[in-house]
Amino acid sequence: MQASIPSIVGQMIVFGLFVWFTMKFVWPPITKALEERRSRIADGLAAAEKGSRALQDASLKSEEALKAARVQAQEILANANKQASQIVEQAKGTAQVEAERIVAKAHEDVQREVAHARDELRKQVGELAVAGAAKILKREIDAKAHADVLNELAAKI
């Protein structure tokens, strides 16, 4: 067991050099990398926080938009309903008028037909009456000569 003064001094010099080297070339790069990583992680966390907040905002906004759209749809539906019933009312009115018109025209036609038929009938009855009279009289009657009389008769029926 011995302590050697030259060894102590030499060892101190070596120690000093080692500390100097560590201080200059080992410590700063590694602590710098550590610091950088720390700030990078902090940035990442902040970004994530911001992202989640933005997501929350967006979902809130979308919910609002959905609600507004629903209200609008309701409104549009109501409007459409109103319009449809209006159209139906209008159509009903038009149909009524048309129907009345058709009915009126039919009436007119029927009247006309009736009048026509009556004329026809009168003519035939006149002819029949003439024929009957001819048979009864057993004599020929000049249809031409008595047309005026027959027509007068037909008009009376």
Partner 1 sequence: MAEAGHSPAEYVTHHLRHWSSGHDSAFISLTDWHLDTLLISTLLGLVFLTLFRIAAVRATAGVPGKLQNFVEVLIEFVDNSVRDSFHGSRAFVAPLALTIFVWVFLWNAMDLLPVDLVPKLWAAGHAAAGEDPAHAYIRVVPSADMSATFALSLSVFFLIFFYSFKSKGFGGYAKEFLTHPFGPWLMPFNLILNIVETLARPLSLALRLFGNLYAGELIFILIALLPWWAQVVPGLGWAIFHILVITLQAFIFMTLTIVYLSMANEHH
Cβ within 8 Å of residue 122, ≥6 positions away = 154, 155, 157
| Residues 49-88, mask of contacts with partner 1 (x by CB under 8 A) | ----------------------------------------
- Asked if residue 3 binds partner 1 (CB under 8 A), the reply is yes
DSSP 143: T
Smallest distance, partner 1 to C-beta of residue 31, A: 7
Based on CB atoms, which residue is closest to partner 1, 41 or 78?
41
Q: Which string of DSSP letters, residue by residue, matches 77-123? A: HHHHHHHHHHHHHHHHHHHHHHHHHHHHHHHHHHHHHHHHHHHHHHH
How far apart CA 40 and CA 34 sit, in angstroms, is 10
Based on CB atoms, which residue is closest to partner 1, 6 or 145?
6
- Asked if residue 23 binds partner 1 (CB under 8 A), the reply is yes
- Residue tagged 């609600």 (tokens): 67
- Asked if residue 42 binds partner 1 (CB under 8 A), the reply is no
Residues near partner 1 (CB under 8 A): 1-12, 14-16, 18-19, 21-23, 25-34, 36-37, 40
